[in-house]
Structure 1
Amino acid sequence: MKTDKVIEYIVSWLKDYATNAKVNGFVVGVSGGIDSAVTSTLCAKTGLPTLCIEMPIHQAQSHVNRAQEHIKQLKERFENVSDVRVDLTPVFEEFKTEVSLDGKQATVDMALANTRARLRMTTLYYHAGLLGRLVAGTGNKVEDFGVGFYTKYGDGGVDLSPIADLMKSEVYLLGKELEVPESIMNAAPSDGLFGDTRSDEDQIGANYDELEWAMRMHDEGKTVEDFSGRQREVFSIYKRFNSANKHKMTPIPVCEIPQNLT
């Protein structure tokens, strides 16, 4: 991949989109992960005002440290970057007092994890509305269109997606070129939605290199019967997530009323 040319292309795309939309810049949620680090740096390179928002909710300290390191570095490099920290932990805890927490623990935990993502989405859009800016998404291709590893109307609720046509490995290539801090480059990818250090691989059961391979095989029309051993296991994992999360990747179903009933 021509990394420098891809960066130029995305930065130009972002700037053109914002100009045509007549908005003042971008808002990006910064988590301490590679995707948000690359996305925020690309937005910063447009020269348009870029607000980085850190939104901890019982966050693991390692995630907080990486997010703050990245924001500090970005502000030193780009005059158009500003930041704000919104501690959503009290909001999250108050929400829990107003809803039922009955049910299987795993189900409750997942519902609350998705709630964290949706509270962050609301916060991003609040600031974007105040400032007249666009919310830039941080999802990559394998997450957004492969396994659907994001929260519907959470981190999936954005105005535009600058890195959604890039595989995770390609995001890392951009990260190196964009001088993303080594602490982020070397960290295990994590959605940070459970308040601990569990990685994406812990949750999915496969790493991103494996998932990228499975996505390519799926696009080539392969089936699980074509593989054995670990490849068969990974392909089955990919297919399971892809099928279960298809509702996130397709347009919302609309009940179209027949003309003879109108």
Structure 2
Amino acid sequence: MQTEKVVDYIVNWLKDYATKANMNGFVIGVSGGIDSAVTSALCAKTGLPLLCLEMPIHQAEYQVSRALNHIDWLKTNFDSVYVTQINLTPVFDSLIAALPPVVKEESRFMSLANTRARLRMTTLYYFAAINKYLVAGTGNKVEDFGVGFYTKYGDGGVDLSPIADLLKTEVYTIAKYLGINSEIIEAAPTDGLWGDDRTDEDQIGASYPELEWAMKMDAEGKTKDDFSGREKEVFIIYKRYNQANKHKMNPIPICEIPAELLQKR
């Protein structure tokens, strides 16, 4: 990858898109993770205003501090960056208290994890509307088009996706080129939706380099029978997520009414 040229291309794409859309700048949720760190830095490099939102919901303190340290780094290096902190924990807790109990409590956990992401999306669009900003997405290629590891209408609800054509390993390469804080680069990827220390690999069962390999093999038409051992296990994991999350990655299905049924009788 020609890292410098890729960075320049994304930055120019972002600025050109915002200018043509007659928008003032960008808003992004900064989590303390690698994807939001890289995306926010790319947005900042456009020179357009960038609002960084830090929106904890029962977040671990080290995740909050990583996010704030990154925002401080952005503000030191770019004049157009500013921050707003919104504590969404009381909002989340109030919503939980208002919801009725469920028969299967375990089915509630995933729903509430996704609810965190959707509360953040709602907050991002609140500030986007006030400032006439674009909501910048932070999903990478493996998450957005491989395993669908994001929340529909949560972190998947954005206006544009600057790094969605980059593999996770390529995001790390760009992070090092940009000078992103080492604490972010070295941290294990996590969606931060569970209020504990579980990582993306803990949830998925495979690392991002493994998933990138499986994504490539799938694109080449390989099947699980072409592999053995750990490779077979990873390929099966990838296919399971890829199939289960098609509803996120494919366009929303539309019931197309036959023309003859729409004609007046």
TM over 0.5: yes
Deviation digits for residues 177-209 of structure 1 (CA, Å, limit 9, x no counterpart): 111100000000000000111100000000001
Question: In 2, distance between residues paired with 1:83 and 1:32?
Answer: 14
* Structure 1 residue 9 corresponds to structure 2 residue 9: yes
Query: 2-side partners of 1:101 and 1:190: how far apart?
Result: 28
- TM-score with structure 1 setting the length: 0.99
Identical amino acids, percent of aligned pairs: 67
Match of 1:141 in 2: 141
Distance 1:188 1:104 in 2: 31
Answering whether residue 247 of structure 2 is matched by residue 247 of structure 1, we say: yes
Question: Which structure 2 residue ranges, 5 or more long, are not aligned?
Answer: none
2:62 is the alignment partner of 1:62: yes
Letter in 2 for 1:247: H
Match of 2:174 in 1: 174
For 2:24, give the aligned amino acid. Answer: N
In structure 1, how many angstroms separate the alpha carbons of the residues matched to 2:84 and 2:152? 24
Matched to 2:94, the amino acid is E
**C-alpha separation in 1, matches of 2:100 and 2:211:** 35
Amino acid in the other structure paired with 1:152: K
Tell me the equivalent position of 1:100: 100
Q: CA deviation digits over 1:146-188, x for unaligned, max 9?
A: 0000000000000000000000000000000111100000000
- TM-score, with structure 2 as normaliser: 0.98
Q: How far, CA to CA, are the matches of 1:103 and 1:222 in structure 2?
A: 41
1:41 partnered with 2:7: no
Q: Match of 1:23?
A: 23
Deviation at 1:105, TM superposition (A): 2.9
Which residue is 1:197 aligned to? 197
Find the residue that maps to 1:142 and give its secondary structure.
Answer: helix
* Secondary structure at 1:26 match in 2: strand
Distance in 1, matches of 2:226 and 2:105, equals 37
1:88-237 equivalence runs, <5 A: 88-237=88-237
Deviation at 1:12, TM superposition (A): 0.2
Equivalent residue, structure 2, for 1:81: 81
Amino acid at match of 1:13: W
Amino acid at match of 1:259: A
* Distance in structure 2 (CA, Å) of the matches to 1:19 and 1:111: 37
Following superposition, the deviation at residue 97 of structure 1 comes to 1.2
- Matched letter for residue 99 of structure 1: L
How far did 1:101 drift?
3.2
Instruction: Return the alpha-carbon distance in structure 1 between the equivalents of residues 54 and 109 of structure 2.
Output: 22
Letter in 2 for 1:158: V
Partner of 1:261: 261
How many residue pairs get aligned? The number is: 262
* Structure 1 runs (4+) greater than 4 angstroms displaced: none
Rounded Cα–Cα distance in structure 1 between residues aligned with 2:35 and 2:107: 27
Deviations 1:121-148 (A, max 9, x none): 0000000000000000000000000000
